[in-house]
Chains A and B, each alone.
Chain A
Amino acid sequence: MRTRVFVLLALAPLGGCRNVPHTATCHSHAAASIRQPIPAAPAPAVAQTAAPRAQVVPASHAQPDLTEPATGPLVERLPAPAGAPAESAASGATCAGMTLASIEDMATTYNPTLTQARTQVDGTLGKALQAGLWPNPVLGYQAEKIGSQGTAGEFQGGFIRQEIITAQKRRVSREKYLARAKAAEFGALAQQYRVVNDIRRQYWRAAGATRLVTIHEQMVKNAEDRLVTVEEMFNVGQSNTVQVRQARVTLQRTKLDLLAKINDRDQARRELSALVGVELPEELYGDELDESVPPLTWDASLAYTLGESPEVREATAKLESDRITVERELRQPIPNVFVQAGPGYDFTDNRTVVNAQVTVQPPIWDRNQGTIQQAHADLSRQRAELCRIELRLKRDLSMHFKQYLTAQQHVESYRGEVLPEAEQAYKARLKSYKQQRETWPMVLDAQSELYQRQAEYVHNLVTWRDSQTLIEGFLLTGGLDAPQNPTPPGHIDATPQPR
């Protein structure tokens, strides 16, 4: 397995947060590699000798210094797709001019959803920054009892008032938004998988469609030959007008099938261009569909998906955020202290005086009990959401693994038995025809059989690559859908002073 490098994310600067600890949950996730290789089932020798997959270093695993500007990009490594060319091949043109690797590189630059995903992280980090800031002090001028005893008043002077945030509310608020930033990171990683998965799937589809066009061109030639043959047979009484007309119908249907395959190919190429974000040349595709890859197993795939899925990790990070939210809202009733003081002049006594005031807002009626209840509800909801995502992934994986397994079985069988046998049957009939033993319609039948089996092989190849891409890419699709907001729907969200 060959690797290639992806630039994924850059975290925004966060002043004064050096000591903000990561939550235990996120940290443990971060400590693990996001992309563990799926243990391979017993595979052919060629597959077993393939290089191991590179492990992906998540953004969180890199222990970013949140106090530093986000100038240093974190490096993400995604495994090269099964059958994808080596990175070295990316720099060198294939016979078709471009490789899957080079196309993926272009997508990192031009696919707008990756930019959106990065800005989601930036925005959430901004909230964390904002949530940890001190409230600004109030400066004022105060004049009291103006005209008392014919004077300018008992107090003429300035004051300064500062709200003292108690119970470490700022720290907890910042932790909450950092947890959401972690969720945004995993969301961005998920978006990267969505883009890459879609590109790979589209690439396989386009490559398969290109092959199918060639095969269907042969099918048209076969149908043309069959028509000519039936006409030849007509002249010696071995076919009739009905059979001639039926041969013409078959030819037209075969031509329409070819046109449909050409349309498929063109559409696949255009969709691929849209995913990459730039117009791609027509002749793009190398022929990596056939390359051997280690087979997947259900148990390893399930463990890999549930353990490493960016969606699961994003949901887990959100759960941590909701847990902190509860903690934060529990601290909210603890009153902040407002301190106000300032010097002035008492014109009635003709002396300088100082005013001082300390106030609190005791939680008598409003103990934040409603918001605390909402925060608890959000936490419970997110726990259920995590469970839902895991079950949904298991359900979807079961479907894709079935498709993968079925396609893989077909591919191996077609490679080892079906295609060689069909080809040998065709060759045997050709040889026999040359020896005047076989009839030409029977040769055409064998030829048609070979082409049909070749087309089925390509369909299975594409399905195989497609499902493998999805399984290895955590079933994520939607490379042109806008990345989700890291704040779950219905949750307590930002205020001018987010908490």
Chain B
Amino acid sequence: MQPGNTRREFLLLGGAAVAGAAGTTFAASDTQPPANVPPANVPPADAPVVREAPAEFGGFSRWKPTFGGPPTADHYLGKLVPGLRGLGLAPVPVEIPDLPKLPFKMVGGVKEFELRCTPVKREFLPGYPMDVWGFNDSMPGPLVEANQGDRVRFIVHNELPEPTSMHWHGLELPVSEDGVPGLTQNPIMPGKSYVYEFDLHQAGTFFYHSHMAMQEAFGMVGGFVIHPKVAFDPPVDRDFFLIFQNFHIAPNQTISDSMAMDWNWHTINGRSGPFTTPLVVRHGERVRVRLMNFSPMQHHPIHLHGHTFWITGHEGARIPPSAWVPRNNTLVGVAQATDFEFVAFNPGDWIFHCHMVHHMMNHMVQQVGPRIRDDSDVSDYQNQLATRPRVRADFTTDSGFRTPGYPQNMQHMHMGEEMMMKIMHRREVQGMRKMWHMGVHGLMTVLRVLPPELYDLVMNSDEMVMPGTVFDRIVKGDYAKDYQQ
């Protein structure tokens, strides 16, 4: 421990080992074996911390907002500030909230995966099961994790009622394995299977998807991470994978319209805010988010509050540090991925979202009718089908209508008790402000940067945490004076 380190830092360092382990445990508990089994000469991802984390890096603090400049400095805005785990370790497993990982088995030295192309009922929000297609009954499909140098085999079973094919997006592989129907192979007919096999010499963020255009729009995509043998430097403590998608699902409909040119349902890893599961990290950890846009035709300006992130990679390759760009909002185009890295120096619950306003909520509708009228309730209409209520003709007495543009406030989806139970009773949201869900819609999720005690309280205990208590302790409690100085 460096002189001047606080009690808090001690705890954090101690917790960092747990964090790595927790990440691994999280993945393992998700029924998947870890994919990134390191080579024999590389310490495993859950190896203990091999060094003490310094508090200061050339003027940048991992515990509080600092500049760390000048811009040419290695630690400017935390650019090359390592995570809390040691150098030279295998990468940490990727966490993909709300989605499974694809298991494999070793067959003759080849990692063999099985993918089934299937119709999927995906609950975008509690009580809203939508009809899409995906893989292994999941949309998006399960995450594939492999290591640089692996030889992989994918046995693809087509359980759809129409032909399909599988493309391995960004992989440099033999053309016969590229999965373009007609061009490189015959389509996989319904009920049939197809085997792809190739070597992985790249490392980075990739994905797989059907190469039938409308099937892509209908959800058939999954993440594909190839880990380097040794974690990139600076190493991250947490590595997340998020897939952003748009769908058009009409009111009173559950089937996505893949022909649409307008999109009204927005999902991160197959869920819409506030059903998206927050990314919960420990204060001071270095975090990577691999954000992939698989929307049919709209790009996403991704914005993280409270932090400046470095763009360290795109789909297919890591960017040399000299070309990294610091931003708080960056555009991720269709079928692109961007790796964000940052040090979670700023405790609190931070919104992390697409900044395209029409993506900031689902099925945005005109704010007219009873929902904005005083003394008017849709239930009155539901209860009086034969003789509907008379509309108040003096609605203009609502003083708001004297202001052109009123109302701009977009009222949000009605959430019933069951829906709220599913949203509010997840470990990841414990202790957030009572009405936090009001600000999290559509392509939104939350980055929770929690001091270690609060992290453990939220993620590693069974204790029910009252709404607002974690947030209040960060904002008003003893942590505030330490972290906000």
Tell me the A residues contacting B by CB distance below 8 Å: 214, 217-218, 221-222, 224-225, 228-229, 231-233, 235-238, 423, 426-443, 447, 450
Contacts and interface: CB of A to CB of B under 8 A. Distances in A.
A440 B393 contact: no
A441 B371 CA distance: 12
Contact of B368 (A233, A427, A430): A233
Interface string B288-322: 00000000000000000000000000000000000
Interface residues of B, number: 36
B345 to A, nearest CB: 37
Contacts of A431: 382
B183 interface: no
Contacts of B406: 235-236
Contacts of B481: none
B7 interface: no
B385 A436 contact: no
A222 B388 contact: yes
Contacts of A426: 385
A224 B391 contact: yes
B363 A436 contact: yes
Contact of B252 (A229, A233, A238, A429): A429
Interface of B: 251-252, 363, 365-372, 378-379, 381-382, 385-393, 395-396, 401, 404-408, 411-414
A232 B251 contact: no
Nearest to A428: B252
A377 B244 CA distance: 97
B366 A441 contact: yes
A440 B388 contact: no
A210 to B, nearest CB: 14
A141 to B, nearest CB: 93
Contacts of B414: 434-436
A236 B405 contact: yes
Contacts of A214: 387
Given A235-B406, A428-B252, A447-B388, A437 B365 contact: yes
A432 B404 contact: no
Contacts of A225: 369, 391
Contacts of A228: 391-393, 395
A437 B401 contact: no
Contacts of A233: 366, 368
Contacts of B401: 232, 235
Contacts of A221: 388-391
B439 to A, nearest CB: 15
Contacts of A218: 386-388
Nearest to B410: A436
A229 B382 contact: no
Given A224-B393, A436-B412, A427 B378 contact: no
Contact of B251 (A222, A224, A231, A432): A432
Contacts of B370: 433, 440
A232 B368 contact: yes
Given A228-B395, A236-B407, A440 B369 contact: yes
Nearest to B404: A235
9 contacts: A221-B389, A233-B368, A430-B378, A433-B365, A433-B378, A434-B379, A436-B371, A436-B412, A437-B365
Contacts of A423: 385
Contacts of A433: 365, 369-371, 378
A443 B366 CA distance: 12
Contacts of A430: 378, 381-382
Most buried by A among B365, B368, B385, B404: B368
A439 B378 CA distance: 12
B365 A232 contact: no
Contact of A432 (B252, B387, B390, B392): B252
Nearest to A442: B251
A232 B372 contact: yes
B374 to A, nearest CB: 12
Given A437-B363, A438-B252, 6 more contacts: A224-B391, A228-B392, A231-B395, A235-B405, A237-B405, A432-B251
A438 to B, nearest CB: 4
A224 B387 contact: no
B438 to A, nearest CB: 13
A438 B366 CA distance: 8
Contacts of B392: 228
Contacts of B390: 221, 224
Contacts of A443: 369, 381
Nearest to B390: A221
The 10 A-B pairs at the shortest CB distance, nearest first, are namely A440-B369, A232-B368, A225-B391, A437-B251, A438-B251, A432-B251, A436-B413, A434-B378, A428-B252, A439-B365
A232 B369 CA distance: 8
Contacts of A440: 366, 368-371
Contacts of A432: 251-252
Contacts of A437: 251-252, 363, 365, 413
Contacts of B389: 221
A214 B385 CA distance: 13
Contacts of B379: 434
Contacts of B251: 429, 432, 437-438, 442
B375 to A, nearest CB: 13
A229 B388 contact: no
A438 B251 CA distance: 6
Contacts of A441: 366, 368-369
B359 to A, nearest CB: 16
A13 B71 CA distance: 128
Contacts of B391: 221, 224-225, 228
A428 B382 CA distance: 10
A229 B413 contact: no
A72 to B, nearest CB: 52
A363 to B, nearest CB: 82
A248 to B, nearest CB: 12
Most buried by A among B251, B406, B414: B251
A236 B252 contact: no
A443 B369 CA distance: 9
B482 to A, nearest CB: 41
Nearest to A437: B251
Contact of A236 (B367, B369, B388, B412): B367
Most buried by B among A221, A431, A440, A450: A440
Nearest to B364: A436
A436 B382 contact: no
Contacts of B395: 228, 231-232
A238 B368 CA distance: 10
B267 to A, nearest CB: 15
A223 to B, nearest CB: 10
Nearest to B401: A235
A229 B363 contact: no
Contacts of B405: 235-237
Contact of A435 (B367, B407, B408, B413): B413
A237 B406 CA distance: 10
